[in-house]
Amino acid sequence: MGDLRRDTAVELLDAGRFRGEVSPDWDLWGPVGGYLAAIAVRAAGASTALARPASAACHYLAPARFGPVELTVTTGRRSRRAESLRVLMAQRDAPVLEVLVWAVADGLPGPSADWVPAPAAPPPHEVPVFDPTQDLGGDPTALTPFWKNVEIRQVFLPDESREPGVEPMLRSWERYLPQSACGDPWADAARLLISADVSIYPAIAKGFEAPAFIAPNLDLYVAFHAPPPTDDHLLIETRGSAAGGGLVSGRTRIWSPAGDLVASGTSQLLCRMF
């Protein structure tokens, strides 16, 4: 079983340079893209004096392998309120991904509003746990280590279909194991990045009766609307947005159990036909 705090940690090598380790515990068709982004965000957090991430925009440049990675962090702009950081992850001297991170200070003044209410989902304890070995059928990813790290409870409201080819949407309560919150906003951002990333392709695929493609992520953007929450369970809703020109896209929203929107994300994926 993986551990987000441990598996996204970075070690300072010298000014602006860090070492990380891509753990095989986060294998799902290779290293999970949101997990790689989380390692880069941890390096940004270790490079700034500001309290927490405000956003992360990731470009995936090449497939990563399990093992050591080197991260280089540079600052584009810095003030007392916000800092822009660029993180380049490399493996064997080849770029793997690039992430632009905005960091912000705590206690910034401004209005407070939430215009995207959470769906009326039943509480987690009333929803059965997703079992990949049963619910994914013969999908080879059902046996990958990733599923040991997160407890998923899929939510369907009364008027929603569970059948493929109807609506490209997935919704679930998710709880990371062995613990959900780390007590560090930079580490706690990891589960938001992973959940925003992992659900997009399955949601899009659900919009087709028999999808004849896979679609690796070209990019991932996540906005953190509040400090990463410390709740065990988070409600994740992902919807496909569009498909065309060899690309598919989707968006994810993440709420706390209290119904507060804590993060949202988008991703563009590149189709590969079977």
**107-147 pLDDT tens trace:** 999 999 999 999 999 999 999 999 888 877 667 777 899 99
Give the residue among 96, 197, 205 at the shortest CA–CA distance from 146: 197
Lookup result for tokens 């109807």:
166
Could you give phi then psi for residue 147, rounded to 5 degrees?
Answer: -65, -15
pLDDT at 137: 66
Residue 209 has pLDDT above 80, yes or no: yes
Supply the mean pLDDT for the chain: 94
Residue 97 has pLDDT above 90, yes or no: yes
Integer Cα distance of 229 and 181 in angstroms: 8
Residue 75 has pLDDT above 90, yes or no: yes
Q: Are 262 and 207 in contact (CB under 8 A)?
A: no
Q: Are 33 and 90 in contact (CB under 8 A)?
A: no
Integer Cα distance of 249 and 201 in angstroms: 8
pLDDT at 180: 87
* Least confident residue range of 78-87, 128-137, 191-200, 216-225: 128-137
- Beta-carbon count within 10 A of 5 CB: 15
36, containing H or E segment = helix 33-45
Could you give phi then psi for residue 88, rounded to 5 degrees?
Answer: -110, 120
- For residue 146, what are its two tokens? 């990733």
Residue 164 has pLDDT above 90, yes or no: no
